Structure formats: structure tokens, C-alpha cells
Amino acid sequence: MRKLSRDEWVAGAFEALVDGGIDALRVEPLAKRLGVTKGSFYHHFDNRRALHLALLAGWEAIGTSQIIDGVGEAAVGPAEQLRVLAHRTMQVDPYSDAIENAIRAWAATDEVVAEAAARVDATRLDYVAGLLRSIGLPAPLARRRSNMLYRILIGEFMWRRAGGPATTKREIDEIVDLLIQPTT
């Protein structure tokens, strides 16, 4: 008889989220995938909602730091840091694409999720805006440009998830070059 920890359930839930979205994340099918019965699930969680919230908490924890961590060490100047950041976040990763999209779509119908997503977005945007200011853009312009880059990112995730071709490395460089322009 296999024994699972709570974290293993959450990890399995992320897998299920990837190929089906939050609505397809049901406890009995998930239990079958994990090789146990739902008796295990209801030992670790009060109900289905509790699993969803655990999932959300996990995403928020890694979603905030994952992208930013290590950028400062990987590159020296702010312009190069921005470039590294862009390449890292836009690299092809179907797993991340699916999760990011699933959470964001979920946010449309769940206030708690929307708030968590807003926190993650704010952290990322602040970081990028700070980089742009370091490059020399005035604060309001830096803010607008970071918003622009962030929309490109979200769009890229969703675009790829729907089956579209990924943005190439060369195009990413071009985007960064364009965004750090002080004027139009």
C-alpha cells in the first residue's frame, strides 16, 4: 500500500492542473493517477477547496521568486540583467505555460486567486521597473515599459499554450532593445 505525504498530493495536483485546468482537477481521478484512493486525500485535506488553496499558495511562493532569483548574479549591468530575465522567463517550458495560464484563468472567477495573482504580478513588475530605472529611464516611463513587457510575457505564455510558435531568442533581444529606448 503506497503512502503519500501532503506535498506529494500537491505535486500531483500541479501535474493534473497542467493537462486540464483547475476544473479538471478532481479528487477521485487524481487519486487514481497517484495510485491511491480518495481515502488518502481526505486524510490530508478537508475538501477539494483546500487542495486548490494549497496549490495556489505553492504557486505564489515560487512564482514570485523563481524568475527573479539569481538574475543579479548572472549578469552585471541592469540592461544585461533585463536581458537575462527576459530570456529566462520566455524560454519554452510547456509546464510553466500551463500553470501560469491555468492560474490566471482561474483568477477570473475566484477572488482569492485574483488577489494572489495580483501580488505576484506586482512583485515582478516592481522588479522590472526598477531595472529599467537603473538603465536610466524616468520612473513613469519605466513603469509603462514594464507593463508592456509583462503583457508580452503573459501573451507569450498563452500564445504558446494554444499551440503557437515561440518567440525566438533573437526576437527577445529585439524586444528588450526596443523597451530600453529612452524615447520614441
The residue among 30, 159, 151 whose CA lies nearest residue 94 is 159
**Do residues 67 and 120 make contact, with C-beta atoms less than 8 angstroms apart?**
no
Q: Determine if 40 is a binding residue for DNA (CB under 7 A).
A: yes
Least Å distance between CB 142 and a second copy?
13
Beta carbon nearer to a second copy, 36 or 67 = 67
Beta carbon nearer to DNA, 34 or 149 = 34
C-alpha torsion 59→120→90→16, nearest 10? 20
* String of contacts with a second copy for each residue 140-169, x by CB under 8 A: ----x--xx-xxxxxxx-xx-xxxx--x--
Burial of 139 (C-beta count, 10 Å sphere; 0-12/13-18/19+): exposed
Q: Determine if 150 is a binding residue for DNA (CB under 7 A).
A: no
Cα separation, 137 vs 160, in Å, equals: 31
Least Å distance between CB 34 and DNA?
8
Beta carbon nearer to a second copy, 69 or 177 = 177
Residues that bind DNA (CB under 7 A): 1-5, 26-29, 31, 35-40, 42-44, 46-49
